Amino acid sequence: MAHRIAIIGGDGIGPEVIDEALAVVAAAGVALETTEYDLGGRRYLATGEVLSDETLEELRGFDAILLGAVGTPDVPPGIIERGLLLKMRFALDLYVNLRPFVAGPSTLNDGVDMLVVRENTEGTYAGEGGFLRKDTPAEIATQGSVNTRMGVERCVRYAYDLARSRPARHLTLVHKTNVLTFSGDLWERTFREVAAEYPEVTTGYDHIDAACIHFVQRPERYDVIVTDNLFGDILTDLGGAVAGGIGRAASANLNPARTGPSLFEPVHGSAPDIAGTGTADPRAAVISAAMMLDFLGEDAAADRVRAAVAATDDVTGGTSAIGSAIADAL
């Protein structure tokens, strides 16, 4: 039976890399029933609509969502991010952002294999804050960070389960507990209390600034990392650079409770400067599709796709050439 997948190609290079990802999934022998949705910056400029409640309800009915990239230079910052991406995260309860970083032989950090678990629905992205006396010399802007015990604990538990399933069985909490004494305290207490239920997992802690240094100088020290929304956003982009470039940075926005679909996307952005040139690297989209296959229970196919990506690590050329090489390696 085919899996029902909503496809949001989006803007810029998004449709190009998603086409290659779907071709690789087909070559892996997995049947998908796809429905395309025209969402993103281009749609907003044409209609003024970002994501209607009706479309959101339709998306709830799919097994998963595969997204290319959204955003165009003509749309002011925040409109697509809050109106589409964050709206889906909150409404579909995509509370785990999972980012794998595997550096191949063509990179400076060959052998690095780490995962970052980012809390995806709370923190500074929850939208708490506002202005006082806006547009005056005495203007005040506040931006709060919302952290709940439920939100923190379910993310931490997911990270412990993930760490327990890996050979190294090591989990590192990254935060800034020496300065963010309220949210940091909640994260650290929860991390240590849950640790008692996972005696086989060793643990560590790094401040976010130290973790950034280690990502650059010694990324091999990490296995699984868990962190909050803002720190995770920053750290995972750095991780993409460490693992060979943002063109290889894949992600899964997960609802582990499976009360709705999870969303899978490369995180390189829409790259409008190279859209239509056929030069975008589709590897991030392909790896994101492999993560989708994991979520759908197609573990063997997902492993074959990742192996094919690794086997073609040194392949260069355009979008289609790289995609075809991966498909041929299956």
Task: Exactly one of 37, 44, 95, 125 is catalytic; name it.
Answer: 125
* Count of CB atoms situated within 10 Å of the CB of 210: 12
Where do runs of H (alpha helix) occur along the chain? 14-27, 41-47, 53-59, 79-80, 86-91, 149-164, 183-195, 208-217, 229-242, 283-295, 299-311, 319-328
For the CA atoms of the chain, what is the radius of gyration? 20
CB 280 within 8 A of CB 247: yes
Chain-centroid distance, C-alpha 286:
13
Q: Per the residue annotation, which of 11, 44, 95, 176 is the catalytic one?
A: 176
Catalytic residue among 206, 223, 228, 233: 233
Indicate if 37 belongs to the active site: no
| 237 carries an active-site annotation | yes
Q: Which of 9, 72, 32, 11 is nearest to 293 (CA)?
A: 32
Question: b/e for 214-236, b at 16 or more Cβ within 10 A?
Answer: bbeeebeebbbbbbbbbbbbebb
- 125 is an active site residue: yes
176 included as an active-site residue: yes
CB 20, CB 279: distance < 8 Å: no
Residue 39 near residue 47 (C-beta atoms within 8 A): no
Question: Of the listed 113, 161, 237, 313, which one is catalytic?
Answer: 237
**Residues belonging to the active site:** 125, 176, 209, 233, 237
